């Protein structure tokens, strides 16, 4: 099962009150040392799976609100050359981690070809606060929002990420986290995309607050978090499963916030695409297309379409009719 959680509202102005203390390259994740471990040589695979000839991935630690948070960073092979680079923040699913999403999505391959940085943050207790309700595990439902803001700020400063081309994506609970950031911080992102993640509803509900391009990719036969949403999920002994809107209602919330007109739906081979054209201009003139899109993938479960990784038992099939990674990055960069 997966769940969701939280955020707050503010235009894109870096939160100076955040306790942002350090970001250190790590080869591993043990301890809270302020001394970086030796970086692997560029010619050998790193622990994160970098290959010969490519810029090695880096594990780093960032202290926010007194908590050391970790993330996996992939730099494009062009190194420090060129100007500011687009940045993709990729949130893993509940019960998973950054390395699992990296392997499943292979975002860094397609993003690197586009000169994009990719940061895979690690959630606390292998999950994200994608809704506004406090829980025993997540007593501060806004913690992950502040972490996301701080991570973006740090990568703009330290990695020359372009603040006008910051995007968020994620899978399942991580997809819901990406939608939460887009909903409550529309000025922070130039676009967002969710795979198998919906907006939370009920007491933990999230409302879209401004125009931002959003894509929702969803399996028509998702057995974990149904396409039609989950208004009354069953209890979970580890962490409450939050109610959610349907995939369509999640997309429509962003369309409404962006002043979109009536949607247009077209059938593609293996999936249906519904597009709303935003009436209000998103913040970036060179970000994603000014649309909200819902892609319902046929014969697909709670999976990342196009992935080569076998999903857990009970998650349903993975569609090969759509490459979610290329589709999402093409949406972010407004490729035809």
Whether 38 shows a pLDDT value over 60: the answer reads no
Quick one: what percent of the chain has pLDDT higher than 90?
72
Give CA separation, 328 vs 56, 124, 132, 191, in Å: 23, 26, 26, 10
250-298 per-position pLDDT tens digit: 999 999 999 999 999 999 999 999 999 999 777 554 556 799 999 999 9
Q: Which domains does the chain have, with CATH numbers?
A: 23-332 (3.40.50.1820)
Q: How high is the pLDDT of residue 259?
A: 96
Q: How high is the pLDDT of residue 136?
A: 87
Question: 158: Cβ–Cβ under 8 A, 6 or more apart, which residues?
Answer: 23
Q: How high is the pLDDT of residue 161?
A: 97
Whether 8 shows a pLDDT value over 60: the answer reads no
Q: What is the mean pLDDT of the chain?
A: 84
- Mean pLDDT on 135-144: 93
Q: Of the ranges 69-83, 211-225, 239-253, which one carries the lowest mean pLDDT score? A: 69-83
Q: Of the ranges 35-44, 239-248, 312-321, which one carries the lowest mean pLDDT score? A: 35-44
* Rounded CA separation 92/317 (Å): 19
Whether 248 shows a pLDDT value over 80: the answer reads yes
Give CA separation, 16 vs 23, 144, 148, in Å: 16, 16, 14
307-323 per-position pLDDT tens digit: 999 999 999 999 999 99
Whether 81 shows a pLDDT value over 90: the answer reads no
- Mean pLDDT on 154-174: 97
Predicted TM-score (pTM) of this structure: 0.84
- Helix (H) / strand (E) element for 179: namely helix 173-184
93-137 per-position pLDDT tens digit: 999 999 999 999 999 999 999 999 999 999 999 999 999 999 889
199 φ/ψ sector (left φ>0, alpha ψ -120 to 50, else beta): beta
Q: How high is the pLDDT of residue 83?
A: 85
Question: 215: Cβ–Cβ under 8 A, 6 or more apart, which residues?
Answer: 191, 192, 193, 194, 292, 293, 294, 295, 327, 328, 331
């Amino acid at each position: 099962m997966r769940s969701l959680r939280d955020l707050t509202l503010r235009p894109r102005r870096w939160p100076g009150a955040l306790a942002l203390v350090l970001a250190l390259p790590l080869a591993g994740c043990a301890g809270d040392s302020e001394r970086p471990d030796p970086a692997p040589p560029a010619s050998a695979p790193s622990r994160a799976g970098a290959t010969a000839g490519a810029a090695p991935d880096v594990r780093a630690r960032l202290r926010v609100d007194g908590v050391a948070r970790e993330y996996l960073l992939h730099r494009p092979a062009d190194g420090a050359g060129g100007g500011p680079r687009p940045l993709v923040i990729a949130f893993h699913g509940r019960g998973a981690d950054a390395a699992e999403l990296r392997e499943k999505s292979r975002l860094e391959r397609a993003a690197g070809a586009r000169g994009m940085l990719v940061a895979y943050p690690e959630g606390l207790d292998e999950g994200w606060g994608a809704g506004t309700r406090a829980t025993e595990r997540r007593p501060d439902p806004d913690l992950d929002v502040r972490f996301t803001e701080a991570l973006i700020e740090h990568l703009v400063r330290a990695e020359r990420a372009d603040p006008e081309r910051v995007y968020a994506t994620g899978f399942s609970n991580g997809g819901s986290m990406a939608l939460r950031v887009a909903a409550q911080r529309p000025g922070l992102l130039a676009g967002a995309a969710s795979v198998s993640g919906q907006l939370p509803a009920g007491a933990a509900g999230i409302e879209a607050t401004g125009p931002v391009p959003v894509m929702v990719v969803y399996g028509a036969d998702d057995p974990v978090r149904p396409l039609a949403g989950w208004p009354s999920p069953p209890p979970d002994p580890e962490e409450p499963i939050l109610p959610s809107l349907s995939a369509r209602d999640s997309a429509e919330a962003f369309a409404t916030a962006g002043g979109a007109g009536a949607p247009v739906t077209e059938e593609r081979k293996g999936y249906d695409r519904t597009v709303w054209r935003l009436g209000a201009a998103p913040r970036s003139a060179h970000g994603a297309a000014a649309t909200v899109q819902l892609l319902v993938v046929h014969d697909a479960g709670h999976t990342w379409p196009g992935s080569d990784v076998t999903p857990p038992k009970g998650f349903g099939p993975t569609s090969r009719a759509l490459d979610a990674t290329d589709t999402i990055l093409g949406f972010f960069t407004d490729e035809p």
